[in-house]
Amino acid sequence: MLTSYVPSTSAKSEGPGLHHLRTIAPLRIGAGLVLLFLYGMEAAVRSYEMIWKHVPWAMTATLQKAGLPHPEVLGPIAAGIALIVAVCWVFGFLTRLFALVFLPVNIGAIVVVERLNAESQAGVCWLFLFVTVTLILYGSGLVSVDALFHLGSRPKKKSRY
């Protein structure tokens, strides 16, 4: 009996295709940009003005109305975390860590929204919770700074010759 060492024609070929583009990067980058431009930057500026210029911030009144303790401390901390997390999500830097850091802020936002019956913001909070849990489970994807850290540790493809 003759044994063949030639790859069979029924095996899947590793030709160029879209399977290399399967990544979670669009979800991570999109959520990071939305968090950065719609929520993070504005909240960071307002919290800066509240702390250094003593300008009243409506978020502290909202947090106090929801019954959270120390709203003048929790508001700026949440704003700073949201800003840092958004930037790190956009670039894909330590994505799982920052998603884990953002998880309590997101759950706190859901608690505030539910206590105040603000249905207009509830969907956004739940979507960010979904994105956060997804990033904790699956990481940053192929197009990220995290992926650059792993380039040297990937196994090299063997040559057929």
DSSP 43-91: HHHHHHHHHHS----HHHHHHHHTT-S-HHHHHHHHHHHHHHHHHHHHH
Query: Is 78 within the bounds of a domain?
Result: yes
Query: Is 11 within the bounds of a domain?
Result: no
Report yes or no on whether pTM surpasses 0.85: no
Query: Is 115 within the bounds of a domain?
Result: yes
Tokens 């409506």, located at residue: 58
Query: Is 156 within the bounds of a domain?
Result: no
Decide if pLDDT at 122 tops 60. yes
pLDDT one-digit tens code per residue, 129-138:
999 999 999 8
pLDDT one-digit tens code per residue, 42-89:
999 999 999 999 999 999 999 999 999 999 999 999 999 999 999 999
Tokens, residue 88: 């790190």
pLDDT of residue 143: 74
159 class by beta-carbon count within 10 Å (0-12 exposed, 13-18 middle, 19+ buried): exposed
Domain, as residue range, for 66: 24-144
Query: Is 67 within the bounds of a domain?
Result: yes
Query: Is 50 within the bounds of a domain?
Result: yes
Total count of domains within the chain: 1
Query: Is 102 within the bounds of a domain?
Result: yes
Tokens 């849990």, located at residue: 133
